[in-house]
């Protein structure tokens, strides 16, 4: 669908009651140029009229534009000029009615006391609303920088025809119906258009280079928050980009401002990837509240993960003093990520340390004696076109050497993973909203997903719960920690719960904000009431029986999996499996066997067996069976081979090994 624009800036006026405007031509010219450069609106699709525009000309421009040029297309109308508010008093009821007009250059005004009476060559906003109702447009963006322009919002708000079709409509007015729109002599633009152009600048673009209509208005309103006029906004439909900057230009500029990235001195390994960084969409920009370990675990599920793909995902971009974004944090994550080769990890660590950057260890430590629940919420769009899966990451962190184990319940649908974590999914169907689903989902995860086992003396620990959604469902980013409610009140909810909300425009709905607040309050209930009930002491767990584990493995594997003889050795082995994240252990139960038995035993650790634990089990089963049928079983090394596979589901799949063994 093509985009067309009608841009009007009226500077000169004939009426003694209307001063000439020194900013309107600049407003219209610069706005039209912005649309041509970055608004996906070619020059031949822009109708620009400025200076002196008569009433008849303005009417014909509007009718021709709406009925012909922009028919079934996307339309943008911008007007900078005088607006007039006519007030008439009913002689019987004494009620005063108001009607807003856009004044053309030859507008005729009379004055009765302090009130204006509008004559010819002024277009009523009510008539403009009627004209829009009769037109066939795919989308419409209507921007008015005029006194009393809020009257248009009132007229639109009282007209329901526009909101009965499937199009997207946005109306932006420089001020309330009863207010004037201002300009300062020292500035090139009027107050509202200047703020709007600033909000549409490249610095305000998201990671895709986009500034949407809603985002631009909100930024402009914040700029004018302490001024003499209050802009108004009315919108319906989907997110609509107003300008789009090339992503490559954004990233190139960001990288160019970061000397530590543009130079590869001492780190030649990055040189092949700088161009990829330059072209990539850095998806997780500004998500500073995220647990590093959670994102690492999430990325680890992607079998195609490589340094190339990792560099297209920003784990967290720290804001630098000059306002640019730093990619240093990505390198910090790469320096310890399990899928990055150890040699490269060491190069990255050395490179970071040489430049005095901290080398992250991939974990965040709780304060002394703290018990904290962290929640990251990424809000999806209101009505997705199809269901999507939510992925929750739950992790316990602790101060070594006290181990903590996350043990899934037997019938739990949640998938356990190494590093004391569990990952689970649930489906969010079309029509469901996240704030309605999130609390029951997390409660189910905590109540049925796992029990938390502590061993040894009490210790500080953190529980992190994070929700990830596919990036295509995310809206533009907002202030990470402050959610602006109705009015000017701000709640710093994110600082308490690590909440990052990625959909700003939905917060215009007070009911939605209240429901999300309710969900956050329920998180506090989960933290206080449910989490303590999930804590178990291993020493007091009567059903925690290693022999039962051995029996379960026997049924699952079809062969004995011997445990060490002493209980202390059993515990040491079991905790070692969980602490290292390795679900499989092999050993020889006797040292009194021939030396060549070790060689035979090591032959099990071939590439095929390492890729598939089932093949390893089969090979071991054959050796056990051969020893059993021999004349002297105890002389056979297979008789003494022991293994423990605590949970086959925890065994990660391994790709084909690249070495020839």
CA atoms of 432 and 474, how far apart (whole Å): 15
> Measured at the alpha carbon of residue 394, what is the angle toward residues 335 and 551, in degrees to the nearest 5?
105
**Would you say residue 6 has pLDDT above 80?**
yes
In a shared domain, residues 225 and 252: no
- Higher per-residue confidence, 77 vs 517: 77
Say whether both 434 and 415 belong to one domain: yes
Residues of the chain above pLDDT 90, percent: 12
- For residue 584, what is the enclosing H or E element? strand 584-588
510 and 549 together in one domain: no
β-bridge pairing 490-491 and 535-537: unpaired
pLDDT at 193: 93
Q: Are residues 219 and 304 in the same domain?
A: no
What distance in Å separates the CA atoms of residue 517 and residue 265, rounded to the nearest whole number? 49
Section 449-474 average pLDDT:
43
Q: Per-residue pLDDT averaged across 493-516, rounded?
A: 41
In a domain, 359, yes or no: no
Q: Does 49 fall in a domain?
A: yes
Per-residue pLDDT, 528: 61
Q: What is the count of structural domains for the chain? A: 4
- Does 407 have pLDDT greater than 70? no
Q: In whole angstroms, what is the distance from residue 336 CA to residue 353 CA?
A: 14
User: What mean pLDDT comes out for the span 631-658?
Assistant: 65
Q: Are residues 610 and 554 in the same domain?
A: yes
Of 241, 274, 299, which one is at a domain's C-terminal end? 241
Query: Does residue 135 form part of some domain?
Result: yes
Rg (Cα) of the chain, in Å, rounded? 33
What is each CA distance from 453 to 403, 409, 632, in whole angstroms? Answer: 9, 12, 44
CATH number of the domain bearing residue 206: 3.40.50.1460
Q: Which of the listed residues 171, 206, 241 is the one where a domain comes to its end? A: 241
| Local confidence band at 366 (pLDDT 50, 70, 90 cut-offs) | very low
CA distance 306 to 272: 13
pLDDT at residue number 36: 92
Please determine, for residue 173, whether its predicted confidence score (pLDDT) is greater than 80: yes
pLDDT at 45 over 90: yes
Q: Please name every residue paired with 372 in a beta bridge, in sequence order, or none if there are none.
A: 462
- Using alpha carbons, select from 237, 214, 232, 234 the residue that is nearest to residue 164: 237
pTM for the predicted model, two decimal places: 0.43
Q: How far apart, in whole angstroms, are the C-alpha atoms of residue 120 and residue 122?
A: 6
**Which pLDDT score is estimated for 514?**
58
Assigned domain for 659 exists: no
For the chain, percent of residues with pLDDT exceeding 70: 44
Min mean pLDDT across 55-64, 96-105, 363-372, 430-439 is at: 363-372
**Confidence bin at 413 (pLDDT 50/70/90):** very low
Instruction: Please check the confidence at residue 465 and state whether its pLDDT lies above 60.
Output: no
* Pair 409, 477 in one domain: yes
Q: Is the pLDDT of residue 576 over 90?
A: no
pLDDT in the model for residue 50: 92
Q: According to the model, what pLDDT value does residue 83 have?
A: 86
Per-chain mean pLDDT for the chain: 64
> Comparing 72-81, 171-180, 234-243, 437-446, which segment has the lowest mean pLDDT?
437-446
**Claim to verify: residue 621 and residue 508 sit in the same structural domain:** no
Are 346 and 380 members of one domain?
Answer: no
pLDDT(493) > 50: no
578 backbone dihedrals φ, ψ, rounded to 5°: -75, -40
Taking residue 55's Cβ as centre, other Cβ atoms within 10 Å add up to 18
Q: Of 604 and 162, which is predicted with more confidence?
A: 604
The Cα–Cα gap between 594 and 498 comes to: 58
Q: Is the pLDDT of residue 434 over 80?
A: no
In a domain, 366, yes or no: no
Q: Cα(463)–Cα(289) distance, rounded to whole angstroms?
A: 14
Looking at the structure, tell me whether residues 518 and 404 fall in a common domain.
Answer: yes
Q: What is the spatial distance between Cα 403 and Cα 239, in angstroms, rounded to a whole number?
A: 47
Question: Distance (Å, rounded) from C-alpha 171 to C-alpha 231?
Answer: 11
Q: Give the domain-ending residue among 507, 538, 569.
A: 538
User: What is the distance between the alpha carbons of residues 289 and 499, in angstroms, rounded to a whole number?
Assistant: 7
Quick check: is 660 in a domain?
A: no
Domain shared by 422 and 389, yes or no: yes
What integer is the mean pLDDT of 323-329?
44
User: pLDDT tens digit string along 518-541?
Assistant: 655 665 565 566 555 655 544 444
* C-alpha to C-alpha distances, 158 to 87, 99, 127, 269, 276, nearest whole angstrom: 19, 13, 13, 62, 51
Where residue 28 falls among pLDDT bands split at 50, 70, 90?
very high
More reliable by pLDDT, 628 or 241: 241
For 73, other C-beta atoms within 10 Å of its C-beta total 16
Does residue 376 share a domain with residue 347?
Answer: no
Does residue 193 lie in a domain region? Answer: yes
Beta strands in 268-420 (DSSP E): 371-376, 388-398, 404-408, 415-417
For Cα atoms 315, 317, 318, give the angle at the middle one, nearest 5 degrees: 135
Tell me: pLDDT of 144 over 70.
yes
DSSP track, 473-527: G------SS-EE-STT-EE-THHHH-------GGGG-HHHHHHHHHHHHHHHHII
Per-residue pLDDT at 61: 94
* pLDDT computed for residue 159 by the predictor: 57
Range of the domain at 308: 248-354
Helices (H), 510-633: 510-525, 546-557, 567-580, 596-602, 607-611, 613-628
Sign of CA dihedral 327, 332, 335, 337: negative
DSSP state of 111: E
Find all residues with CB under 8 Å of 125, minimum gap 6, and list them. Answer: 99, 100, 101, 102, 151, 152, 155
Residue 225: pLDDT band by 50, 70, 90 thresholds? confident
* Same domain membership, residue 501 and residue 551: no
Bigger pLDDT: 125 vs 325? 125
Q: What is the pLDDT of residues 368-397, one digit of tens each?
A: 333 333 333 333 333 344 444 444 444 444
Highest average pLDDT, of 56-60, 361-365, 519-523, 538-542, comes from 56-60
């Amino acid at each position: 669908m093509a985009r067309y624009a009608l841009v009007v800036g009226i500077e000169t006026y004939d009426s003694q009651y209307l001063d000439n405007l020194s900013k309107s031509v600049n407003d219209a010219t610069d706005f039209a140029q912005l649309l041509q450069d970055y608004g996906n609106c070619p020059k031949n699709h822009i109708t620009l009229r400025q200076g002196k525009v008569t009433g008849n000309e303005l009417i014909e421009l509007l009718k021709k534009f709406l009925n012909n040029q922009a028919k079934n297309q996307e339309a943008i109308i911008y007007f900078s000029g005088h607006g007039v508010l006519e007030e008439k008093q009913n002689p019987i009821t004494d009620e005063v009615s108001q009607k807003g007009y856009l004044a053309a250059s030859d507008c005729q005004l009379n004055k009765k006391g302090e009130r204006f009476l509008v004559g010819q060559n002024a277009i009523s906003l009510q008539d403009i609303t009627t004209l829009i109702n009769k037109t066939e447009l795919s989308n419409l963006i209507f921007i008015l920088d005029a006194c009393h322009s809020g009257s248009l919002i009132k007229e639109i708000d009282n007209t329901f025809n526009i909101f009965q079709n499937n199009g997207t409509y946005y109306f932006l007015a420089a001020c309330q119906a009863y207010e004037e729109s201002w300009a300062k002599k020292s500035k090139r633009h009027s107050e509202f258009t200047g703020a709007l152009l600033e909000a549409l600048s490249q610095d305000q673009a998201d990671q895709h280079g986009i500034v949407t209509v809603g985002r631009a208005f909100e930024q402009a309103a914040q700029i004018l928050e302490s001024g003499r006029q209050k802009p108004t906004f009315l919108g319906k439909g989907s997110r609509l980009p107003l300008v789009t900057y090339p992503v490559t230009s954004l990233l190139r500029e960001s990288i160019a401002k970061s000397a530590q990235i543009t130079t590869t001195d001492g780190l030649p390994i990055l040189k092949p990837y700088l161009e990829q960084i330059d072209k990539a969409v850095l998806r997780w920009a500004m998500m500073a509240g995220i647990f590093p370990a959670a994102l690492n675990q999430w990325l680890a599920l992607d079998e195609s993960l490589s340094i190339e793909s990792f560099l297209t995902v920003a784990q967290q971009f720290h804001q630098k003093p000059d306002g640019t974004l730093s990619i240093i944090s990505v390198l910090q994550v790469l320096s310890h990520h399990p899928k990055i080769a150890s040699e490269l990890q060491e190069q990255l660590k050395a490179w970071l340390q040489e430049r005095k950057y901290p080398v992250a260890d991939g974990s965040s430590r709780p304060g002394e004696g703290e018990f904290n629940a962290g929640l990251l919420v990424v809000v999806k769009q209101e009505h997705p076109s199809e269901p999507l899966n939510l992925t929750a990451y739950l992790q316990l962190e602790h101060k070594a050497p006290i181990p903590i184990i996350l043990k899934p319940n037997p019938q739990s649908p949640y998938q356990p993973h190494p590093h004391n974590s569990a990952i689970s999914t649930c489906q969010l169907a079309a029509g469901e909203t996240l704030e309605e689903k999130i609390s029951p989902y997390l409660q189910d995860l905590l109540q049925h997903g796992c029990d938390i086992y502590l061993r040894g003396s009490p210790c500080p620990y953190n529980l992190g719960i994070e929700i990830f959604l596919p990036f295509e469902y995310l809206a533009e980013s907002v202030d990470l920690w402050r959610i602006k409610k109705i009015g000017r009140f701000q709640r710093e909810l994110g600082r308490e719960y690590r909440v990052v909300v990625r959909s700003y425009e939905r917060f215009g709905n007070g009911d939605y904000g209240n429901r999300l607040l309710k969900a956050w309050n329920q998180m506090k209930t989960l933290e206080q009431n449910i989490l303590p009930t999930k804590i178990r002491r291993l020493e007091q767990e009567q059903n925690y029986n290693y022999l039962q584990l051995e029996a379960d493995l026997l049924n699952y594997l079809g062969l004995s999996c011997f445990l060490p003889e002493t209980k202390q050795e059993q515990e040491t082995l079991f905790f070692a499996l969980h602490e290292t994240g390795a679900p499989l252990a092999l050993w020889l139960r006797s040292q009194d066997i021939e030396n060549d038995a070790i060689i035979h035993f090591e032959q099990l650790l071939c590439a095929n067996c390492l890729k598939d634990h089932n093949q390893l089990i089969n090979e071991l089963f054959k050796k056990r069976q051969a020893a059993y049928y021999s004349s002297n079983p105890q002389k056979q090394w297979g008789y003494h081979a022991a293994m423990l596979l605590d949970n086959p589901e925890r065994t990660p799949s391994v790709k084909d090994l690249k070495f020839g063994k």
